[in-house]
Amino acid sequence: MVAGLQADLGRRPDDPRLLTRLGVAYVTRARETADPSFYAKAAGVLERATRLAPGDADTMVARGLLGLARHDFRSALAWGTRAAEANPDLPDARGVVFDAQVELGRYAAAVATAQAMVDAKPTQGSLARVSYARELHGDPAGAVAAMVQAAAAGGGSPTDQAYVQTLIGNLHLGAGRLGPAEAAYRRAVAGQPGYGLAEVGLARVAAARGDLAGAARRLEPVATALPLPATVALLGDVRAAAGDRAAAASQYRLVRVIERLNKANGVAVDLELARFEADHASDRGADPGRVVAMARQALAERPTIYAEDTLGWALRQAGRPAQALPHARAAVRLGTRDALLWYHLAAVEADLGRTAAARRHLAEAFAINPYLPVRDRQHALALAGRLDLPVPRTPVGDRRRIDRSCGLGRPFACASGIPDRRPGRTSSR
Amino acid sequence: MSPIARRGAVLAVLTIIILVVAGAAGAAAHPLGNFTVNTYSGLRVGPDRLDVDHVVDLAEIPTFQTRQAIDTDRDDRVADAEAGRWRDRECRRLAAGLEARVNGRAARLAVTGSALRFPEGVGGLPTLRLECALSTPCPPAPGP
Q: pLDDT by residue (tens digit) across A313-364?
A: 999 999 999 999 999 999 999 999 999 999 999 999 999 999 999 999 999 9
Give the model's pLDDT for residue A24. Answer: 94
State the first-to-last Cα distance of chain A, in angstroms, to the nearest integer: 55
Mean local confidence (pLDDT), A46-69 = 96
Report the residue of A33, A37, A38 to disrupt the B interface, i.e. the one with the largest count of B CBs within 10 Å: A37
Q: What is the mean pLDDT of chain B?
A: 77
Mean local confidence (pLDDT), A299-323 = 97
Phi, psi at A78, each rounded to 5°: -65, -45
Distances A388 to A37, A86, A358, A383 between C-alpha atoms, Å? 50, 59, 11, 8
Residues of B in contact with A229 (CB under 8 A): none
Interface membership of A257 toward B (CB under 8 Å): yes
Q: Residue A265's closest CA among A413, A19, A44?
A: A44
Interface membership of B68 toward A (CB under 8 Å): yes
Q: Report the residue from B35, B74, B122 with minimal CB separation from A265.
A: B122
Q: Residue A352's closest CA among A316, A310, A309, A308?
A: A316
Other CB atoms within 10 Å distance of the CB of residue A187: 19
Position A235 pLDDT exceeds 90 = yes
Q: Report the residue from A35, A246, A263 with minimal CB separation from B123.
A: A263
Query: Could A257 and B122 be called an inter-chain contact, meaning their C-beta atoms sit closer than 8 Å?
Result: no
Q: Residue A84's closest CA among A70, A104, A64?
A: A64
Mean local confidence (pLDDT), B105-126 = 92
Mean local confidence (pLDDT), A98-113 = 97
Percent of residues, chain A, with pLDDT higher than 70: 91
Position B93 pLDDT exceeds 70 = yes
Give the model's pLDDT for residue B142. Answer: 61
Mean local confidence (pLDDT), A30-34 = 89
Residue B87 — pLDDT band, cuts 50, 70, 90? very high
Q: Residue A150's closest CA among A182, A177, A114, A186?
A: A114
Give the model's pLDDT for residue B144. Answer: 53
pLDDT digits (tens, 9 = 90+) for B30-65: 555 677 788 888 888 888 888 999 999 999 988 998
Residues of A in contact with B68 (CB under 8 A): 250, 253
Give the model's pLDDT for residue A286. Answer: 86
* DSSP secondary structure letters along A313-371: HHHHHTT-HHHHHHHHHHHTTT----HHHHHHHHHHHHHTT-HHHHHHHHHHHHHH-SS
Other CB atoms within 10 Å distance of the CB of residue B17: 9
Q: CA-to-CA distance for A272 and A255, rounded, in angstroms?
A: 10
Give the model's pLDDT for residue B30. Answer: 59
Q: Which residue has better confidence, A371 or B16? A: A371
Q: CA-to-CA distance for A83 and A311, rounded, in angstroms?
A: 34
Q: Report the residue from B68, B76, B122 with minimal CB separation from A261.
A: B122
Residues of A in contact with B30 (CB under 8 A): 37
Q: What domains does chain A contain, in order, with CATH numbers? A: 1-104 (1.25.40.10)
Mean local confidence (pLDDT), B90-117 = 89
Q: Name, of A301-315, B37-51, B63-77, the range with top average pLDDT.
A: A301-315
pTM of structure: 0.83
Q: CA-to-CA distance for A374 and A283, rounded, in angstroms?
A: 17
Give the model's pLDDT for residue A382. Answer: 94
Query: Which residues 6+ apart lie within 8 Å of A368 measured at CB?
Result: A174, A175, A176, A337, A338, A339, A342
3-state secondary structure chain B: CCHHHHHHHEEEECCCCCCCCCCCCHHHHCCCCCCCEEEEEEEEECCCEEEEEEEEEECHHHHHHHHHHHCCCCCCCCCHHHHHHHHHHHHHHHHHHCEEEECCEEECCEEEEEEEECCECHHHCECEEEEEEEEEECCCCCCC
Query: Could A257 and B64 be called an inter-chain contact, meaning their C-beta atoms sit closer than 8 Å?
Result: yes
Identify whether A373 is preceded by a cis peptide bond (ω within 30 of 0): no
Q: What is the mean pLDDT of chain A?
A: 89
Q: Beta partners for B101?
A: B11, B106
Interface membership of B77 toward A (CB under 8 Å): no
Give the model's pLDDT for residue B32. Answer: 58
Q: CA-to-CA distance for A223 and A227, rounded, in angstroms?
A: 5
pLDDT digits (tens, 9 = 90+) for A212-229: 999 999 999 999 888 899
Give the model's pLDDT for residue A394. Answer: 60
Distances A132 to A128, A141, A347, B53, B96 between C-alpha atoms, Å? 6, 11, 27, 55, 54
Mean local confidence (pLDDT), B69-83 = 90
Mean local confidence (pLDDT), A227-246 = 94
* DSSP secondary structure letters along A77-138: HHHHHHHHHH-TT-HHHHHHHHHHHHHTT-HHHHHHHHHHHHHH---HHHHHHHHHHHHHTT
Residues of A in contact with B125 (CB under 8 A): 257, 260-261, 264
Query: Could A36 and B34 be called an inter-chain contact, meaning their C-beta atoms sit closer than 8 Å?
Result: yes
Q: What is the dihedral of CA A411, A417, A418, A423, to 10 degrees?
A: -150
Interface membership of A397 toward B (CB under 8 Å): no
Angle between helix A57-69 and A16-33 (nearest 10): 20
Angle between helix A140-153 and A158-174 (nearest 10): 160
